Chain A
């Protein structure tokens, strides 16, 4: 019996020939990420283990993303403590304000995640790293501290579930729609709890790295341990400019065992929306046509990449955001910001009446720029819509793709981008 890609990576990283689901192993960690609001506590815990030097100062990645630029004195003070502690530990890769981005975007975009290895981060969307064929896993500060000290983390080998995605992508249908479709199909944190999700098939092979990142990103919201796409030529081309580290094409064996296999044909996949409150309460966009909202948001580690911004620009060119809607775009990193600027997308969007903010997690976690107030109805291309997620507990959040947000922001009501006059 062969192994799945996740099992193989866990085996390689724990120095074994084979692992089986349910087994508990300590594995080597390729890199560990922590960020501004939890990072100082990671380093405090790390030192309390009796260590002063991290296992590899090139492989502990520190990012300022939730608190930058500081909107309050309290955040400013926290950031100062954070900077001090990062400096104190001689961390090579520190992405602070000016070089910042959302941690998960930074990890992939800056080549800190490698195919066939395991990387962990103190934020739940660390599952994003699966896009390049790595095991990306979210952990708490305790695990991060232990990994900083030892270069290791413990894992229970998960059972794998395969999603075989076939068919042809339709215009304006995005990876996010597939994510939300699977969310509705599998139920939020239900059947996929603790599982490793492997995305494969022709529709994945033709998918860009940005799309793969969106897809893997939201596997944490399915309750899964990780989401992964096997490395291929797209991965190789993406990583070529980003890392000098050597890596292997680790892929699943043909006779690997899966707990479940699902086939999804995306040929008739429609733009999809998650209703306020629960991620798995999804409908196709046609069910919501005409629904009013007053705030539109595109950004986050889920949908703040160049491809997402290009989609907005294409739909919103020479149009105006509806007068009853405020729209904010927050690029996922400084690199994305610059690329969008150079491509002319930001000019298009500013002319359309979109406010653009400097890269951060923004209002996604409800603690930074653009939070929702009482009674706000938000159409968001972020990743979570539970009560209070973006600020007020009296706000409602509809989650969808950038293309739905773009078309809808122009009309001032939920609009199907496929029927929108572009």
Chain B
């Protein structure tokens, strides 16, 4: 069970704006990337630790979160470094959805339009096992689409690197 406040994003928050192009050639590092994460999304985040200092635990988004077709992992590393523990959206862009799975950061799709009933700063509670997201500030509840077993296994291992490293070390086939 994770509990914390949320930031409600607009439609089409692009990977480009989560990590702006001047940082694409930097190292993938949660601590470093988190300092500038979201700097292109909103003026108030456009300063060192601008997003991180808000202390959000969740992001609630609408369609195509982290889209625009950028495969860089700085996006996910930056969000994790900033303390984000789950992102809820109607849909996610494919590349970052994949990266999130590989990093074990829950990118959770919900059939409900949960962004409509949420305001930035609302306190949410996420029960990953049951797939239930509660908005404690508003007294509302949403259900999420359950993660595929593989996705859960990777998350339990702490990401794909750990998952594969463990298999290689044990000499187990990868399948």
Report A's interface with B, CB cutoff 8 A: 24, 26, 37-38, 41, 45, 48-51, 66-67, 74-75, 78, 122-125, 138-143, 145-146, 149-150, 152, 154, 156, 188-190, 193-194, 220-221, 223-225, 365-367, 384, 386-389, 393
Contacts and interface: CB of A to CB of B under 8 A. Distances in A.
Contacts of B28: 41, 141
A139 B71 contact: yes
Interface in B96-155: 98-99, 102-103, 148, 150
5 contacts: A124-B95, A139-B71, A156-B148, A189-B68, A220-B95
Given A26-B174, A194-B94, A143 B16 contact: no
A189 B93 contact: yes
Interface residues of B, number: 39
B3 interface: no
A150 B168 contact: yes
B20 A143 contact: no
Interface string B148-175: 1010000000011100110011000011
B69 to A, nearest CB: 4
Interface of B: 14, 16-17, 20-22, 24-25, 27-28, 40, 63-64, 67-73, 91, 93-95, 98-99, 102-103, 148, 150, 159-161, 164-165, 168-169, 174-175
Given A189-B93, A386-B68, 8 more contacts: A24-B148, A51-B168, A139-B71, A140-B99, A146-B164, A189-B67, A365-B21, A388-B21
Contact of A223 (B64, B159, B160): B64
Contacts of B71: 122-124, 138-140
Contacts of B40: 387-388, 393
A220 B71 CA distance: 11
A225 B70 CA distance: 13
A150 B164 contact: yes
Contacts of B175: 26
A75 B175 CA distance: 38
Given A156-B148, A365-B24, A140 B98 contact: yes
Q: Most chain-A CB neighbours within 10 Å: which of B28, B71, B93?
A: B71
Contacts of A123: 71
A359 B150 CA distance: 41
A386 B94 contact: no
A314 B175 CA distance: 52
B24 A193 contact: no
Contacts of A139: 71, 95, 98
Contacts of A194: 94
The 9 closest A-B pairs by CB, nearest first: A366-B21, A124-B69, A140-B73, A142-B102, A189-B64, A140-B99, A189-B67, A37-B25, A220-B69
Nearest to B165: A49
